[in-house]
Amino acid sequence: MLRGIPEILSPELVKILCEMGHSDRIVLADGNFPAESMGKDCHVVRMDGHGVPEILEAILKVFPLDTYVEKPVSLMQVMPGDKVETPIWETYKRLVEENDERGEKAVGEIERFEFYEQAKKAYCIVATSEKALYANIMLQKGVL
C-alpha cells in the first residue's frame, strides 16, 4: 500500500497516471460515452459503479494540470437544441478550483464531435457509471 493515494484509484489507474507525460490527456467518461470504440488506441480503464466527480476529485489530488495551456480541463459542450441541464459542471469547477490556483478559468468547453476526436488521441479513457448527461471531462497533464 502507498500513503496519500486515494483509495478509489486502482493500481492500474495509478500506473497509467504515472506513465502519462506532459500534455498527455485523460478522459473521464460518463456511462453513455463510447469508451471502447473511442479508446481503440489508448488505455481504457473501467470504473463501473463510480461516478465522475469522485474519480475526478481523487485524480486531481495527484495529477498536475498543464500550466502551459489556458484551459487544461475540457468539458463536452451541449449540442445546440439539446435541452439538457449540466449541474455536474459546477461540481467539476469546484473540484478544479480546490486543486488548481486558476480555478474555473482552467476549464473550457469543446464542441461534442471535436471532443470525440480529441478523446481518440487521449492516453487513457476512464469509463464510469456516471448517469449525468454531458458529464465527460478531459484533463491535460502538466509538470511538477
Q: Is 48 annotated as catalytic?
A: no
Domains identified in the chain and CATH numbers = 22-140 (3.40.1650.10)
Share of the chain above pLDDT 90, in %: 97
The residue with cell 492516453 is 123
Q: Which residue is catalytic, options 24, 50, 100, 116?
A: 116
pLDDT band at 2 (very low <50, low <70, confident <90, very high): confident
Q: What is the DSSP letter of 90?
A: H
Mean pLDDT of the 33-51 span: 97
- Identify the bridge partners of residue 44 per DSSP, sorted by sequence position: 125
Q: Is 92 annotated as catalytic?
A: no
CA distance linking residue 29 with residue 31, whole number of Å: 7
Over residues 53-98, the pLDDT tens digits come to 999 999 999 999 999 999 999 999 999 999 999 999 999 999 999 9
Q: Is 43 annotated as catalytic?
A: no
pTM for this predicted structure? 0.97
CA distance linking residue 89 with residue 12, whole number of Å: 27
Per-residue confidence (pLDDT) for residue 121, from 0 to 100 = 98
CA-closest candidate to residue 24, choices 118, 105, 106: 118
Q: Which residue is catalytic, options 24, 30, 66, 100?
A: 66
The residue with cell 473550457 is 108
